Structure 1
Amino acid sequence: MSRLIKFIITCLLIQQTCVAQSSSDKLFEDLRRINLKEEAVKTKAKPRFKYIKNNLKAKTFRSVILANSLIESLDGKSYYRIKENTIIRTKEVSPGSRYFFILPSDGNEDNVKYVTLSTNLDHLETILTFNNEKFTPFKQDKFKAIEYDKKQIHTYTQIRAGLGSSTPNFFLDNISLSSTTLALEAGVETFTNIPVFLIAEYLAQNSGQEVQLTSFSIGLRTEYRYHINEKSFIGAGLSAQRSLYTSATIDNSKVDYTIDSFGINVNYNYAKYFVSLDLKMQNYAFDSSVVLPAANLTNDNSATAISFNIGKEFEVSI
């Protein structure tokens, strides 16, 4: 009976090894193909890694590289995103380093071309041992080593610029304002595909020489992202902002005011570049002492603004 149990377990181990080897072979074939066709995304990072053979101080591991992880070329000029959890061999860049070399599946260390962060890896441990025909069973703490559910924190930085228009309801002659927007946003993914952003925005509005309004606002924005494929997604979200600084000239008069904005937006992102359409309700509050001949100021001074934006997003996973 004990020999039958050993035979069954040995077959299972051989099957798992074959599956892992097939996945590993596919990964390195993809890397070889991309390197030959020069399809990798280029970056401006300076060369910073050099693989040294026979470095006895650096440890070698059998590891699982997690899905959606980034691996980087040794010269820092290209990277590749891993599609699925894959078992590979890795080696420390140096003892205790945050980076690991990815060793080729054929074992030829002359072909080491990529590194990845240690946070992208789960190192496998030996969970089965045979010693003098004695079988050591699974232990709960060891079994956790093959659970590949490690999560990464995704952070984002966006830079965008836009053009738009609005028609405030307090001008007697229905003046339309053209607008220019410059914004910087920093965000973090709180739930899957739902990032939250902190916004810093500069807004300039004018109708020629008659009306000139400028403001600097901060606020929050959240959105839901639906991924079309690996390079593109569409998003829809909500935002709220309040002005910290404003300046206004209306009919050659300096005016103090504040502006609050509430809006919705939709966007399309492809390869880190995006376009977006924003629709906002803007509420203006003027000092009670302000009197403008060309305006009817009330407690409900508002405008509906629409703008078209373009920008770029930078993503960092930690």
Structure 2
Amino acid sequence: MAQFLFARFWSGLMTLFCVAVIVFIIVRVIPGDAAMMLTGAGAGVVSEQELEAVRERLGINQPLPVQFVAWVGDFVRFDLGTSIRTGAPVADEIAARFPYTLQIAVMAMVIAVVLGVPAGVLAARFTGSWIDRLLQTLSVAGLAAPSFWVGLLIILSLVTFFRWSAPLFWEPFWVSPIQSITQLIWPAIAAGLRQLALIARMTRSIMLEVLGEDYIRTARAKGLSEARVIFRHGLTNGSLPIVTLIGFEFAALFGSLIITETVFNVPGLGQYVITAIMNRDYPAAQAVVLLLAGIVVIGNLLVDLIYGWLDPRMRLKGKPS
């Protein structure tokens, strides 16, 4: 078990390091000058000496390897730096915005699980029927539809039929839970549609396999109700791959929220990182992208650990299949 844990931890650490290198390079090859953005003036208005002074103050006039080592060193000490655009600590701005992103992710996954698992079970129970074909068609449509496109359709429908308008102030969950859920339910639906379709298709495939096992036929021969056979014996024994998928998708969901939050104008991490990239705010963009990557890596690590705990064969192999 110790070897399994070490292998997973080392793999996650190397993944984060690679992400850090890629993010650091990408945000600096994007056309634009952070010093020029900060001064708010165009070329020729501010002298080159003034721009160089701004670059020196920001530390972006040093060689890239030096900048990278300094950034990694600060990050290891949990110092995310100061936003070039606002002058506020990046950690404080992330702390203020992360609850909105987390709430949308949780609500989206709850919607996906609550609707996706029963849909998959229903499709497997009535395989080949019109119910199965309808649910499969809807799941394929859910996988094919991009979340930003679904979000735009939701906004258009709300504005057209219900005269809906985006909130001027997004209420935090701990201040007004009902109002916060009401405000964020629409981006959660747009973001969770793909996960719903994936969970429904996975559940259907697993249940089709499980319902053909001998112990299911034995349970039916004993006179157990169909609901007890399906949920107590079928779904329980086939839940491991479904739980694994839910864990992976929940971690990956944070990355897909960047566009969804921008579409709905939610003041979460997604909108924050888009603004940071557009304004060449290097510390903010790097911190948010690395944080989202860290969430994915930690989520996958936890899923691997749960898998290894539930299935001892994975611990012996050292990696899940």
Task: Report the TM range for the smaller structure's normalisation.
Answer: under 0.3
- State the TM-score, normalizing by the size of structure 1: 0.21
Relative to its length, the structure with more helix (as a share) is 2
- State the TM-score, normalizing by the size of structure 2: 0.21
In our comparison, the structure showing a higher alpha carbon Rg is 1
Relative to its length, the structure with more strand (as a share) is 1
